[in-house]
Structure 1
């Protein structure tokens, strides 16, 4: 649920009886708000005269004899009964969901059993679908941008090869159980595989020279490619709800640079400037 559930007795009630305490502590109610709502929706298409179960959301009320009973669907209590002032601490902008009650009968011609509470209520957001880690990973998250410096097809061994990426979040639209959903995904961690058995895992997107903080020095000449894996976290908002919810899990995307060579260069004296044309043979 979106918030903690607490309760205080209504006007004229001096203490919570054992049954109401049990309900508030979850020992009586056995279902989540979302699960009981799902059962009610599945039952709704059945004609009333054929139903073996009925569901209704209504508050807890304390009647004159001091028993907790089912209130009215409009949130009020019967004459002579006091409302149990249940306080669900929902996030700003969210709405309160009253407890769900259910009654059953053995056959369409049998008498109904008494109403019984099957969830304690909660917040409106509890009725909405949850975006799972698997849902998040199915989204078309972009491959991370990979910038190399220098980027000329070759680098020098024992000199920093600087790498960096773009940490900007992306916004995506998707559908979840018939609801439109806006997802904000943010890359928060990166792993570079430099192709020579060395890796770098960092929370920094990196910076260009001379403020670089993500780099690698190749020790041996050769042909290499750098693979960058970005780890994404996300949050989502369901259409019609003001609440943003964090996604419990992460997703990853990967990109690989074109191959390049790591070369060893040495300096030596030349007879004249190497800028002349044609280039002198000793340059």
Structure 2
């Protein structure tokens, strides 16, 4: 077993003996064996904040780890700075994500007792370490608006053995939701379209939202007369941004919406020569 692992196990035993909450790790003297679970520490601190400051027996704060002398680490200031001549230690490299400073804790026996010294309970990290995850189930529960299903000709009938054109709007939609107390912005983007034409034929599955006449490329040809409806099932992918972090994260899963057209008739029409325009009033007898 490595020195890091030994420090980790010993820390767990000491936490258990002391009757404190197990945060998932321990802090070694050289700061190399800090294995605290940042997400758990954040959750504990958030729940602890619900207790009034006058009655609170534990305080949590995120601030830098600072060095004042070799091998001496102290809690930094809330603004991210260190005491005089202090140097921040171990700040995470998070790229575009936000940096999460180390969590510190102090305790007292009763509300009237003096506070104890600050002690470090995690090593900090990046925004992704503490922010909630928007799951596929969360994504599917959002009120994603089903896109409009356009059918051409836009009438209550279409012609048999002729193209019936379908298309929809591929624009992404933006929604906001609350997740474990965090405001979350979600962007849903349609990625696949399935058209069921209601006549028993194989559905049309495509990533193309289609276009109206004359540049149409998604259509169906009905081979039999009758009354039909078209159902569009849209598959959405998503990404989300949690307040407090500039990073966008992909949703691990997809959502679906369904749109159904109004009923229409598949009809047959024949052509013939007439003496006058059929738009004339009154309508000519041979129309």
TM-score norm. by structure 1 comes to 0.68
Instruction: Report the Cα offset of residue 98 of structure 1.
Output: 1.1
Distance 1:239 1:49 in 2: 29
Higher alpha-carbon deviation: 209-218 or 134-143? 134-143
Q: Which residue does 2:214 correspond to in 1?
A: 210
- Give unpaired runs (5+ residues) of structure 1: 1-16
Q: Please tell me whether the aligned partners of residues 144 and 229 of structure 1 are also in contact (alpha carbons under 8 angstroms).
A: no
Highest RCO, 1 vs 2 (Cα 8 Å, sep ≥ 6) = 1
Distance 1:278 1:49 in 2: 93
- Write out aligned runs for 1:39-188 (5 A): 39-44=44-49, 45=51, 51=57, 53-61=58-66, 64=69, 67=71, 69-74=73-78, 75=80, 83-91=88-96, 95-102=98-105, 108=110, 115-118=119-122, 120-124=123-127, 128-177=131-180, 180-188=183-191
Distance 1:155 1:147 in 2: 13
Q: What do residues 119-166 of structure 1 show as CA deviations (whole Å, max 9, x unaligned)?
A: x21245755554443443333322211111223322233322111011
Q: Please tell me whether the aligned partners of residues 106 and 115 of structure 2 are also in contact (alpha carbons under 8 angstroms).
A: no
Instruction: Report the Cα offset of residue 193 of structure 1.
Output: 0.8
Instruction: Report the Cα offset of residue 194 of structure 1.
Output: 0.8
CA RMSD of aligned residues (A): 3.8
- Give unpaired runs (5+ residues) of structure 2: 1-27, 279-283
Instruction: Report the Cα offset of residue 248 of structure 1.
Output: 3.9
Q: 1:201 aligns with which of 186, 200, 205?
A: 205
Residues matched between the structures, number = 250
Distance 1:19 1:205 in 2: 58
Q: Please tell me whether the aligned partners of residues 60 and 68 of structure 1 are also in contact (alpha carbons under 8 angstroms).
A: no
Distance 1:188 1:87 in 2: 36
Instruction: Report the Cα offset of residue 54 of structure 1.
Output: 4.1
